Chains A and B, each alone.
Chain A
C-alpha cells in the first residue's frame, strides 16, 4: 500500500513506477513535481523510478487556473 499526497491510498505491486502512480491517479497536468519518500524524482525518470511499498508519494500540482 502506498499513500499519495497524504490522502489517497493505492495498492502497491512489484515494479510500480512513478508513471504508474500518475496514471492510476489520473494526474495528467503538465506542471507537477513528484517526490517519493521526500526524494524528488525527475520527469525523465517517471517511467523507470520504482516506488517502494509503503511509500509516501507527493504529487504537487502547481496552482493554475483562475
Chain B
C-alpha cells in the first residue's frame, strides 16, 4: 500500500522474491533489492556513480498491474507497488547469455571471469570472434571512467565514440585533452586496470592513501551535495535564506537577523538569474566541490567600467549578507559592489560592515550630509554606498574616511564631532580593528567568543559555533563552550597551515555522520581523518588528534604572543561590542522583546513586568557582558592562558615552545 502524507515522500510496499520491503519512491530497484538482502550481478554499476544500465546484467522481472516485464534494476526507479523476481528462469537465461558474450570478448579480464562464474557462464568459445581481446586489463566499456569524469569532476574529458562493435573509450577527437587535470578519478574507478595511474607530481610519500581519501570526498560531492548544501549549484550563498530563517542574517548593521526582502537576494534568485551554471567553476580546476560561482556578462551601472560587461567572481555568502547588512536587498547592487571591491582590492566584508556602521551613524544623526559630501547614507542607499566605494578607490571625498574602517571612524567622530563614544562602541562592529564578518552572534555565547577572541579579529575562520551552540544546544556549559573554543580554532588553524580548504570539511558530510554522538558528529570525524591522511600521504608522518592539536597549538600560541607583543593580545582586545552580544538600542530590544523578556525572566531571574525598555536593555546588557566574561575566563583556562589572555610560561613549556625567542615576546610588549 502506498503511504502518502502532506509534504513527505511516498513509500511503497513492494515484494522482492516474495519478501516484503518498504521503498521510498524513486529508489532504484537495484538498491532496494540489495537492501532486501538479495544479490544481483552487475558490471557497470558503481555505488557513487549515476547508473546507466549499460551491462544489462542486473535484469530483473518486474510485475506492474499484472503485467510482467524485464528491467535493468540499476536504473529502474520504483514508482509504484511492484512484485520483483530477481532470478526467474528467463532472467537467468538472459544473464548467462550476456555473460558468455562478455567472456567471448574479454576472456582474461578478472571482473568478467567473476561475473561469468556468478551467471553460470563457462563457455569462452561460444562468442569468440575477431573482436576477442586477450588482454587481462582490457577496457570492458563499463563507463565507470566516463561517469566519474562527469560526476566527480564536472568534466567530460572522457567519452565513448563509435557505435556497436566500434564503441571505444576516447578523449575528444582522439587526442589528449589539455583540460584533463590528472585527477585520476577514471583510473580509480576502472574495474580492470585498463586505465593506469602514474603518480609523478609533487612526490607524495603515499599517493594511494591521498587518493583513497580524496575519492571519498569526490563521491560525496557526486551523490550527497545535491541533497545537502548544494555547494556545486550555489556555493556558500546557499545559506542566505537559511541564516534569515534562523534570525542570523545581519540586517542594518547587525541590528536584526532577518528581513522580509531577503527572498530578493537569496540563493534561488542567484541560481536563476545570476550564476552561470553548468561550468566547472571551481576556484581551482580539479576540485570536485567547485563551489566558487561566477556571474557572467554582468553590465556595470557605475564607476570607471560603467556600461561594460564583466565576469564577477561570486557573490559568496558573506558578500550577499554584506548587502543585507547595508539594507541593500538587490542582487544587482550586491554583484556590483562585489565586482568593484575585487577590482579595487578591497575586502567585501570590511567594506559592507563599515558602510553599515556609517549608515547607522547617519540615521542616528552623528554624521549628516555635510560630512558625507551630500550623500544621504540611510540603510538601503545603494547608489550612495557604491559612490563611497568609488571615492575610496579614487582617494577622495567621504569615501576616504569610510576606507579607514570602523575603529578609526569611531575615534574620529568622537574627537572631531563630539559623538557619544559609548554609543559608537556599542554599535561599531569591530574587534582588534577588524570588522565583523556577516553573522549575527547575539544568541550564541560561543560564537561571540569565537569572533572576539580570534587572533586576527572577528573573523569566523577560527570558530563558527552558532549552530552547535545556539540551535543545537550541544555545548550548554561554559566548560563545553571553552572546549569547543579550544578544539575548533586549533583544527582550523592546522589545516589552514597545510593549505587545505575548509569547505570539504563541513560543507558536505558523510551520509552516516549521524552515527556519532552529536558533539563528535559536529567535528565530522571522517573528514577530519581525511585531512590527517592527506598529511600522512604527503609527508609519511602519521597524525592523530593529539599530534594535530599540538602542532596547531604551537602556532596558535605563537600568534597570540606576537599579537601581545604588538599590543593586541590581551583581555581588553578580546571584548566584543555590545551589539555582537545583545541588543544595543531600544529599537533592537523591541524587535525581539518577547525573546529578551523571556530570557530575563528565565535566565536572569528578573521579572521584566513593569520595567521600561531602557531598564530592560540595561539589565540585559549587564547580564550578557557577565556571561561573556565567564566564557572568556573558561576559554583562557582551557587554553592555558592567564586571566589577561596571555599564554603562560607553563603552557609554553608543555607544548614545547619555551625557547628564548618566544619567551622574549612575553617580556617586551611594545605598545
Partner among B8, B473, B522 whose Cβ is within 8 Å of the Cβ of A6? B473
A64 interface residue (CB < 8 Å to B): yes
CA distance A47 to B518 in the complex (A): 23
Kindly state the separation between the CA atoms of A33 and B522 in the bound complex, as whole angstroms: 11
B290: shortest Cβ distance to chain A, in Å?
18
The answer on a CB contact under 8 Å between A62 and B522 is yes
Question: Which of A19, A29, A60 is the one whose CB lies under 8 Å from B7?
Answer: A19
Q: Report the separation of the CA atoms of residues A46 and B473 in the bound assembly, to the nearest whole angstrom.
A: 21
Please indicate the chain B residues that have their CB under 8 angstroms from the CB of A19 in the complex.
Answer: 6-8
Seen from chain A, the residues whose Cβ lies within 8 Å of a Cβ on chain B are: 5-7, 19, 26-31, 33, 40, 44-48, 58-66
Q: Are A64 and B7 also in contact (CB < 8 A) when A28-B242, A58-B518 are? A: no
Q: How far is the CA of A46 from the CA of B5 in the complex (A)?
A: 10
Is there a chain A Cβ closer than 8 Å to B461's Cβ?
yes
At the interface, is chain A mostly helix, strand, loop or mixed?
A: loop
We find that the number of chain B residues with CB closer than 8 angstroms to chain A is: 42
In the complex, B228 has a CB within 8 A of chain A: yes
Residues of A within 8 A of B160 (CB): none
Given A47-B8, A48-B8, A66 and B476 contact (CB-CB distance below 8 Å) = no
Among candidates B6, B11, B467, residue contacting A65 with C-beta atoms closer than 8 Å = B467
Give 1 or 0 for each of B507-526: 1 = CB within 8 Å of chain A CB.
10100011000100110100
- Contact present for B509 and A31 (CB under 8 Å): yes
Complex alpha-carbon distance, A7 and B471, angstroms: 9
CA distance A24 to B379 in the complex (A): 31
Chain A residues positioned under 8 Å from B239 (CB to CB): 64-65
Q: Which of A29, A45, A62, A66 contacts B521 (CB 8 A)?
A: A62
Q: How far does the alpha carbon of A45 sit from the alpha carbon of B228 in the complex, in Å?
A: 17
Question: A63-B506, A64-B239, A64-B467 given. 13 additional CB < 8 A pairs?
Answer: A19-B8, A26-B246, A28-B245, A29-B246, A31-B229, A33-B513, A44-B8, A47-B5, A62-B467, A62-B506, A64-B507, A66-B463, A66-B464
Is A60's CB under 8 angstroms from B518's CB? yes
Q: For B472, what are the chain A residues with a Cβ–Cβ distance below 8 Å?
A: 5, 58-61
Residues of B within 8 A of A (CB): 3, 5-9, 11, 24, 227-229, 239, 241-243, 245-246, 317, 439, 460-461, 463-468, 471-474, 476, 502, 506-507, 509, 513-514, 518, 521-522, 524
Query: In the complex, are the beta carbons of B464 and A31 less than 8 A apart?
Result: no
| Chain B residues whose C-beta falls within 8 Å of the C-beta of A7 in the assembled complex | 473
3 closest cross-chain pairs (CB), A and B: A66-B464, A47-B8, A33-B514
Chain A residues near B465 (CB, 8 Å)?
A: 63
Rounded to whole angstroms, the CA-CA distance of A25 and B467 in the bound complex is 14
> Smallest distance from the beta carbon of B559 to chain A beta carbons, Å?
18
Which residues of B sit under 8 angstroms from A33, Cβ to Cβ? Answer: 513-514, 518, 521
| Across-interface contacts of B502 in A (CB, < 8 A) | 66
List the B side residues contacting A45 at CB < 8 Å. 8
CB-CB under 8 A from A63, the residues of chain B are 464-465, 467-468, 506, 522, 524
Shortest CB–CB separation between residue A33 and chain B, in angstroms? 4
Q: Which chain B residue lies CB-closest to A7?
A: B473
**Bound: A61/B229 CA distance, A:** 12
Contact: A60 with B514, CB < 8 Å? yes
A40: B residues at CB distance < 8 A: 514
**Minimum CB–CB distance for B471 against chain A, Å:** 5
The answer to whether residues A30 and B518 also contact, given A46-B8, A47-B8, A60-B472 and a CB cut-off of 8 A, is no
A29 to B230 Cα, complex, angstroms: 12
B466 to chain A: which residues have CB within 8 Å?
65
Residue numbers in A under 8 Å from B227 (CB-CB): 30
Residue from B5, B24, B227, B471 with most neighbouring chain A CB atoms (10 Å): B471
Q: Give the complex CA separation of A33 and B471 in angstroms.
A: 13
Q: Could you say which residues of chain A place their CB within 8 Å of the CB of B509? A: 31, 62
In the bound assembly, the distance between CA atoms of A58 and B476 in angstroms comes to 14
CB distance from A23 to the nearest CB of B (A): 9
Taking a contact as CB atoms closer than 8 A, the residue among B245, B439, B513, B518 that contacts A26 in the complex is B245
- Give the complex CA separation of A19 and B7 in angstroms: 9
| Residue on B nearest A25 in the bound complex, by CB | B471
Q: How far is the CB of A57 from chain B (nearest CB, A)?
A: 12
Q: Is the CB of A30 within 8 A of B229?
A: yes
> Which residue from chain B places its CB closest to the CB of A5 in the assembled complex?
B473
